[in-house]
């Protein structure tokens, strides 16, 4: 089961998002998880992360972001976002 939910640096941030929220939906049904994992807080963080990804057009190939950050900085931002999803997924997996 856990193997179905993997996020790595080759994923788009949108794939990573989908994997994370799917796993979260499954885990949220577990009583034990609801006692020890703050789903509300996580969903709030994910929402903010999605907004950042949206604003900087991360993995939206049709347009280039013109906020002033370099492409290297955008790449770093993408890696930070993916890292966030990786950490979420790895802590959620403990409840599978």
- Which residues of this protein are in contact with Zn ion, per CB under 5 A? 56, 65, 67, 69
- Closest CB 55 distance from Zn ion, rounded Å: 7
Using CA atoms of 69, 18, 83, 73 in order, give the dihedral in degrees to the nearest 10: -10
- Closest CB 67 distance from Zn ion, rounded Å: 3
Query: Which C-beta is closer to Zn ion: that of 47 or that of 64?
Result: 64
- Closest CB 63 distance from Zn ion, rounded Å: 11
Angle CA(20)–CA(51)–CA(91) in degrees, nearest 5? 25
Cβ atoms of residues 58 and 78 within 8 Å = yes
């Amino acid at each position: 089961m856990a193997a179905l939910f993997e996020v790595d640096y080759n994923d788009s941030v949108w794939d990573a998002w989908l994997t994370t929220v799917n796993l979260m939906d499954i885990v949220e049904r577990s009583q034990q998880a609801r006692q020890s994992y703050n789903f509300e807080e996580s969903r709030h963080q994910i929402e903010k992360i999605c907004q950042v990804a949206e604003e900087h057009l991360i993995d939206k190939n049709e347009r280039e972001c013109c906020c002033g950050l370099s492409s290297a900085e955008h790449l770093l931002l993408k890696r930070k976002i993916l890292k966030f999803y990786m950490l979420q997924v790895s802590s959620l997996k403990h409840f599978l």
